[in-house]
Amino acid sequence: MDQGTRYDVLIIGAGVVGNAIARELSKYKLKIGVLEKELDVGMGTSSRNSGVIHSGIHYKPGTLRAKLNVLGNSMFERLCRELKVKMSYIGKLTVAQEDSEIKSLYELKEQGEANGVPGLQILKRDEMEKLQPGVGGILALYSPSTGIVCPYTFTIRLAESAFRNGVSFWLGKKVVAIEKRFDTFLVKTQDGETFTSRVLINSAGLYSDQICRLLGIEEYKIYPCRGEYLILDKRLGHHLKTLVYPAPHHGKAGLGIHLTKTVDGNILIGPSNEYVNSPEEYATTREIMEVLLKEGKELLPDLETSDVIRSFCGLRAKQTPPEVGGFRDFVIEHRKEIKGFINLLGIESPGLTSAPAIALTVKDLLEEVLTLEEREDFLSELPGFTGYFSELSYEEKMDLISKEKDYGQIVCRCEGITKKEVIDAIQNPLGVKTLSSLRYRARVMMGRCQGGFCLPRIVEILTKEFGFRPEDFLLHREGSYLFTGNVR
Amino acid sequence: MKREVVVIGGGPAGLAAAISAKRAGARDVLIVERDKRLGGILNQCIHDGFGLHRFKEALSGPEYAKRFIERLDAEGVEYMLDTMVTKLGRDKTLELSSAKGLKRIEAKAVVLAMGCRERTQGAIMLPGTRPSGIYTAGQAQNLINLQNIMVGKRAVVLGSGDIGLIMARRLLLEGCEVVGVYEILPYPSGLPRNIQQCLLDYGIPLHLSTTVVEVHGERRLTGVSVAKVDPNRRPLPNTTSFIPCDTLLLSVGLIPENELSREAGVEIEPMTGGPLVDDTLMTSLEGIFACGNVLQVHDLVDHVSEESELAGLFGARFSEGELRPLGEYTSIRPGPGIRYCLPQRVSRERDFFLSLRVKEPMRDKKIVLLDENRKRLIQKSFPRLHPAVMVRLKVMVEKIAKAKGLEVRVE
Ligand SMILES: Cc1cc2nc3c(=O)[nH]c(=O)nc-3n(C[C@H](O)[C@H](O)[C@H](O)COP(=O)(O)OP(=O)(O)OC[C@H]3O[C@@H](n4cnc5c(N)ncnc54)[C@H](O)[C@@H]3O)c2cc1C
């Protein structure tokens, strides 16, 4: 077997969880590989969520979810600084509409405090109004440590940082068979390749039960539960100063449909809550879109139908079937009977928030198998600047354009994305060459015209400057070709 | 940097406005264009039919543009290409970005001529998956006509806007099977002449009161579900059928591109999606004018040129201090049968063109302009009226000189 495929640690799944683990472990002297079935990292749940860094008030004290949420939240600021990812602690109001809901606010506060959530306060109307003008309700719980982050930028940057520190990313490699021979895992991918490792980490998200089954572990089953969203034009972004959630209704799962602001200033309406049959059921539906629009219009009176930019959905990796509902705690375990197999399963919300803390937990479990030795040459920082060129000051922009004229050429008019940013995205360190990889990295084709204007320009850049032929263009997945050839 | 008149956008509207401003005596006129050439959307319109009114000739898009670009050069109008206006202030200062760096310009008058963009899959809330193979008609037009790239082999066109009709024919001519054009309304939204020349002449079926209700395919588009709709445009149960196809072209409407205008504080009229203007095409901000598709979506470029020449002329007059500042206005309201009319307010000092669209197709009707006492000031008969066909009426100032409020209606 050739050297290139033998690892100390193999990670299955390059979502936020797999990538956070890869980056954490890249601080040690280990040979690490990540196997991902899609052509880019973060194409599963990690790019399809609300992007909220939860405070940790919602989970029962003593659970992994509570503990890892609060710890993860506290790690975000530094991590985002190192990875040059935009984030902001914009805070959250959980609002009671009627007297019957007040009790639940105090319960949440108590629970949050038991979990170690900092700064929780019960606010009266006038104080609520100061934080969010026009907010309804009679009383609110304020959690200042709730934040927002762009979930796919965060996921991608974790991978890029891990890559910079020597982790290999194998994209388009779906794991289809696993065998354990003595102390070595033999991991086969769909294209017939075999990778080996001493430690195998399952962070396959919605497919983590299937990975378990490949190893003969039958006790888990994942029930995908869809959450649909609408993304709204930035025009409305100024309405939300902080996040506003309804108080929990007793006996109801999910956090309720609400508005969330993204770090880029758009508003999300959602998510809905429907169990679906397969982990690939990423279709949005007319019924839910209509409900979301209606509820959105109630929450934002000046919302017009034309403000909807796009709909999308994500799937929650639930461990409970529809008839049971509710939540179960994260599974994070070292399977002693299959020594070296670290299993992560049911990482639904707050999985994004918890990812950095999950990575630390996995590191501890790893020490049961391997001795870890820190590297002196770990690079914590990624190069570049945080955010987008368009967000810099006039002087900073002038300075950058004088060094690099492509910063002066705007390719995406809606978001003001420059040619330099597009070219950097095309030349991304992981070598991903799909159009969606450019969307997620450079934010092109993401604005109100959804690529109406910039897609032809990006096609031109890829054709003229990178030698793409029409047949080379893929949207996101294998088989998602854009063009059928030349016209003549 | 200072300029008398700055025109944002070098498409048909910007070209006509700039030439006219220069001819009207503005000393320096500047066009700022983000593309690498002048002409805007005309460059990708290789079909003919441009200039029938103005030049009494059927020109292609690039030929029509060329006539204006030659005049622009002859007049000595300055232009910047590959340059984007990133900010416009209410004081008529502009911020520009190009490979040469950033620049600030102070203008005495600004003409908005940024055109429009196409409505997308998201904006019409099309349910389903997100496969490749879904294009707006204009995107496909750019790829096919300017980049020699073919988008698919079997296409469905959703919406019967003019670009969709033209692209249905274009795809067919290039060997792509075109299953049909599906329109949610009970009548087509493109020009009657395009229905004839692009669909009927080529045997492409047009399905009215029908829409795409779902998109299928996880990688490339595998097909769409279509269904009939009721008069409220809601899909009718049991009328859904699946059409296999690898391409979906969207021609579901155009939206005036007014983000710069909005940020500057220009008041936008919800019905047109463009600025509210007066009879000089001045917006709610003094010295800022608007014309072409950024003002209202046109169906004929000839009208765009005519409208824009006026915007350019008044822009020049304003920059010379010859146009009096915003004063008292008489408003013009759309009455029964009228979707919108423009300008929305007039000074009663000069003749002007009244542009309007009707709400639905009609035969043998009159368009009437009434004053506040329901007195008929102007009326004109039309054998046919159609929302796809913009009506332009010249209004003489004598007719409205005493009116305190105006209304247009169909009778
Ligand atoms: C609607 C919704 C809203 C949410 N909102 C929030 C929020 O606001 N805040 C928050 O903290 N959390 C939120 N979450 C939860 C959070 O998004 C998830 O917990 C997190 O993204 C899970 O990451 P992951 O890496 O486990 O899964 P994924 O991102 O799904 O990654 C798993 C990866 O494994 C790959 N894979 C699967 N099978 C194989 C195989 N056989 N071989 C190779 N690769 C494979 C997949 O392609 C995928 O890339 C939300 C979730 C949903 C659904």
Q: What is the CATH number of the domain that holds B166?
A: 3.50.50.60
**DSSP SS3 for A8:** strand
> Is the CB of residue B101 less than 8 Å from the CB of residue A408?
yes
Question: pLDDT digit string (tens) for B186-205?
Answer: 999 999 999 999 999 999 99
Q: How far is CA B109 from the centre of its chain?
A: 22
pLDDT score, position B326: 65
pLDDT at A292 exceeding the cut of 50: yes
A368 and A435 within one domain? no
Count of structural domains within chain A: 3
On whether residue A167 sits in a domain, the answer given is: yes
B387 and B337 within one domain? yes
Q: What range does the domain containing B405 cover?
A: 329-411
B102 and B26 within one domain? yes
Q: What is the CATH number of the domain that holds B371?
A: 2.60.40
pLDDT score, position B6: 98
Q: How far, in Å, are A226, B3, B131, B186 from residue B214 at the CA level?
A: 17, 51, 12, 20
pLDDT at A248 exceeding the cut of 90: no
With cut-offs at 50, 70 and 90, classify the pLDDT of residue A256: low
With cut-offs at 50, 70 and 90, classify the pLDDT of residue B324: confident
Query: Rounded to whole angstroms, how far apart are CA atoms B118 and B256?
Result: 9
Q: Which of A187, A343, A347, A352 to mutate to test the pocket of ligand 1 (most atoms within 8 A of CB)?
A: A352
Question: pLDDT digit string (tens) for B41-64?
Answer: 999 999 999 999 999 999 999 999
Percent helix / strand / coil, chain A, rounded to 5: 35, 25, 40
pLDDT at B396 exceeding the cut of 70: yes
CA geometry: angle B308, B309, B310, nearest 5 deg: 85
Of ligand 1's listed atoms, the one at least distance from the Cα of A344 is 26
Q: How many Cα neighbours within 13 Å face the side chain of B146?
A: 21
Nearest to A124 by CA among A140, A108, A136: A140
Name the token pair of B224.
Answer: 């769409």
Mean pLDDT of chain A: 94
B74 and B40 within one domain? yes
Task: Return all residues near A385 (Cβ < 8 A) that are at least 6 apart.
Answer: A84, A392
On whether residue A479 sits in a domain, the answer given is: no
Q: Following DSSP, what letter does each residue of B156-225 receive, concatenated?
A: EEES--HHHHHHHHHHHHTT-EEEEEE-SSSS-SS-HHHIIIIIGGGT--EETTEEEEEEE-SSB--EEE
A189 and A111 within one domain? no
B378 and B335 within one domain? yes
- Assessment of whether the complete model's pTM goes beyond 0.90: yes
pLDDT score, position A306: 83
pLDDT score, position A295: 87
Backbone angles phi, psi at A334, to 5 degrees: -100, 115
Query: Rounded to whole angstroms, how far apart are CA atoms A106 and B99?
Result: 57
Q: Are strands A308-318 and A274-275 parallel, antiparallel or unpaired?
A: unpaired
The answer to whether the CB atoms of A450 and B121 lie below 8 A apart is: yes
A95 and A64 within one domain? no
Count of structural domains within chain B: 3
Q: How far, in Å, are B14, B50, B277, B305 from residue B54 at the CA level?
A: 17, 9, 24, 9
pLDDT score, position A254: 46
Q: What is the CATH number of the domain that holds A140?
A: 3.30.9.10
Nearest to A419 by CA among B98, B259, B79, B142: B98
Over residues A353-374, the mean pLDDT reads 97
Query: Rounded to whole angstroms, how far apart are CA atoms B83 and B7?
Result: 12
**Residue nearest (by alpha carbon) to ligand 1 atom 33:** A13
Question: pLDDT digit string (tens) for B366-378?
Answer: 999 999 999 999 9
Q: How far, in Å, are A37, B13, B91, B267, B339 from residue B277 at the CA level?
A: 55, 16, 18, 9, 17
The answer to whether the CB atoms of B127 and A289 lie below 8 A apart is: yes
A143 and A24 within one domain? no
A106 and A63 within one domain? no
Query: Rounded to whole angstroms, how far apart are CA atoms A223 and A375?
Result: 40
- Interhelix angle A99-115/A64-83, rounded to 10 degrees, is 70
A209-244 burial, b for 16+ CB within 10 Å, e for fewer? bbbbebbebeebebbbbbbbbbbbbbbbeebbbbbb
pLDDT at A250 exceeding the cut of 90: no
A162 and A301 within one domain? no
On whether residue A412 sits in a domain, the answer given is: yes
Over residues A185-197, the mean pLDDT reads 97
Q: Is the CB of A227 under 6 A from ligand 1?
A: yes
Of B261, B296, B325, the one marking the end of a domain is B325
Whether B151 contacts chain A with CB within 8 A: yes
Neighbouring CB atoms inside 10 A of B11's CB total 28
B111 and B3 within one domain? yes
Mean pLDDT of chain B: 96
CB-based burial of residue A403 (10 Å sphere; 0-12 exposed, 13-18 middle, 19+ buried)? exposed
pLDDT score, position B124: 86
Partners of residue B95 in chain A, C-beta under 8 Å:
394
Partners of residue B137 in chain A, C-beta under 8 Å:
none
Partners of residue B122 in chain A, C-beta under 8 Å:
231, 308-311, 450
Partners of residue A410 in chain B, C-beta under 8 Å:
34, 84, 86, 97
Question: pLDDT digit string (tens) for A114-144?
Answer: 999 999 999 999 999 999 998 889 999 999 9
The answer to whether the CB atoms of B150 and A476 lie below 8 A apart is: no
Of B325, B343, B377, the one marking the end of a domain is B325
- Helices and strands, number each (H, E), in chain B: 8, 28
A459 and A405 within one domain? yes
Bridge partners (DSSP) listed for residue A269:
A230, A259
B69 and B134 within one domain? no
**Residue nearest (by alpha carbon) to ligand 1 atom 2:** A49
Q: What range does the domain containing A232 cover?
A: 85-148+223-315
B80-98 burial, b for 16+ CB within 10 Å, e for fewer? bebbbbbbbbeebbbbbbb
Q: Is the CB of A353 under 6 A from ligand 1?
A: yes
Bridge partners (DSSP) listed for residue B214:
B225
On whether residue A249 sits in a domain, the answer given is: yes
Over residues A208-236, the mean pLDDT reads 96
Question: pLDDT digit string (tens) for B236-287?
Answer: 999 999 999 999 999 999 999 999 999 999 999 999 999 999 999 999 999 9
On whether residue A118 sits in a domain, the answer given is: yes
A380 and A421 within one domain? no
**DSSP SS3 for B288:** strand
Query: Rounded to whole angstroms, how far apart are CA atoms A452 and B127?
Result: 19
Kindly provide the residue ranges of all beta strands, DSSP E only, lying in A47-174, ordered along the sequence. Answer: 52-53, 87-88, 92-96, 121-124, 139-143, 147-149, 168-171
pLDDT at A65 exceeding the cut of 50: yes
Q: What is the CATH number of the domain that holds A15?
A: 3.50.50.60
Question: pLDDT digit string (tens) for A453-483?
Answer: 899 999 999 999 999 999 999 999 999 999 9
A61 and A200 within one domain? yes
One-letter amino acid at A185 equals: F
Of A315, A331, A352, the one marking the end of a domain is A315
On whether residue A485 sits in a domain, the answer given is: no
Of ligand 1's listed atoms, the one at least distance from the Cα of A69 is 11
The answer to whether the CB atoms of A409 and B98 lie below 8 A apart is: yes
pLDDT at A417 exceeding the cut of 80: yes
Q: Which residue from B34, B122, B255 is facing A410, i.e. has the nearest CB? A: B34
CA distance A103 to chain B (A): 39
With cut-offs at 50, 70 and 90, classify the pLDDT of residue A253: very low
On whether residue A71 sits in a domain, the answer given is: yes
A236 and A216 within one domain? no
B304 and B382 within one domain? no
Task: Return all residues near A443 (Cβ < 8 A) that are at least 6 apart.
Answer: A264, A388, A412, A415, A417, A421
pLDDT at B180 exceeding the cut of 70: yes
pLDDT score, position A1: 42
Residues of A labelled as active-site residues:
54
> Is the CB of residue A259 less than 8 Å from the CB of residue A240?
yes
A300 and A258 within one domain? yes
Nearest to B107 by CA among B315, B325, B310, B290: B315
Q: Which residue from A283, A289, A485 is facing B129, i.e. has the nearest CB? A: A283
Nearest CA in chain A to B121: A310
CA distance B172 to chain A (A): 12
Over residues A411-434, the mean pLDDT reads 96
pLDDT score, position A448: 85
B109 and B5 within one domain? yes
pLDDT at A252 exceeding the cut of 60: no
B278 and B380 within one domain? no
Structure letter (DSSP) for residue B236: P
Q: Which residue from A394, A408, A460 is facing B100, i.e. has the nearest CB? A: A408
The answer to whether the CB atoms of A485 and B151 lie below 8 A apart is: no
Q: Is the peptide bond before B343 cis (omega within 30 degrees of 0)?
A: yes
**DSSP SS3 for A49:** coil
A158 and A214 within one domain? yes
Query: Rounded to whole angstroms, how far apart are CA atoms A366 and A299?
Result: 47
Percent helix / strand / coil, chain B, rounded to 5: 25, 35, 40
Bridge partners (DSSP) listed for residue B48:
B60
Residue A39 CA to ligand 1 center (angstroms) comes to 16
Of B281, B304, B325, the one marking the end of a domain is B325
Partners of residue A405 in chain B, C-beta under 8 Å:
99-100
B242 and B138 within one domain? yes
Of ligand 1's listed atoms, the one at least distance from the Cα of A176 is 41
Over residues A419-430, the mean pLDDT reads 97
Over residues A68-81, the mean pLDDT reads 98
B385 and B280 within one domain? no
